[in-house]
């Protein structure tokens, strides 16, 4: 996050990713939507109303980060309301198991957050996970 302002965050994300990828380095936009807490982040659910999600805070920076022409990486998110057939992103047309699947149509590489793969190796692979961090946590170690 660059500033409390969602517009500036979106523009900052767009320009940062553009700059990083202009020299051939893969950028990875992390903690896409509504990841506001690091302490106990695996055990909480973020509840966000539509006005806050779409109009005031979260969507603009995320959407700007995937609008970069050569966007090629993102990180998984942990918030249960975003995923699955009843999740916010599913309802809004980003179909897939995780919020990262929103970028699949752009040819993105799906990268887990550090130690965030908690499903089976087959479940993670079938969900579209391309790269697991730190590398042998579930997929390789299973």
Q: Say which of 49, 70, 113, 119 is annotated catalytic.
A: 113
CB 53 within 8 A of CB 60: no
The answer to whether residue 113 is catalytic is yes
Peptide bond connecting 49 to the previous residue in cis, omega within 30 degrees of 0: no
CB crowding 22-50: b at 16 or more within 10 Å, else e: eeeeebbbebbbbbeeeeeeeeeebebee
The upper half-sphere exposure of residue 60, i.e. CA atoms within 13 Å in the direction of its Cβ, equals 15
| Residues noted as catalytic | 113
């Amino acid at each position: 996050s660059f500033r409390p302002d969602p517009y500036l965050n979106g523009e900052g994300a767009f320009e940062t990713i553009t700059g990083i990828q202009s020299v051939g380095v893969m950028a990875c936009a992390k903690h896409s939507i509504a990841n506001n807490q690091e302490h106990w982040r695996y055990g909480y659910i973020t509840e966000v109303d539509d006005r806050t999600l779409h109009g005031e805070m979260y969507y603009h920076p995320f959407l700007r980060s995937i609008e970069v022409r050569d966007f090629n990486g993102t990180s998984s998110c942990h918030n249960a309301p975003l995923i699955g057939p009843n999740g916010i992103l599913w309802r809004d047309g980003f179909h897939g198991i995780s919020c990262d699947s929103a970028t699949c149509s752009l040819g993105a590489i799906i990268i887990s957050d550090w130690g965030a793969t908690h499903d089976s190796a087959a479940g993670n692979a079938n969900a579209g996970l391309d790269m697991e961090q730190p590398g042998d946590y579930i997929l390789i170690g299973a």
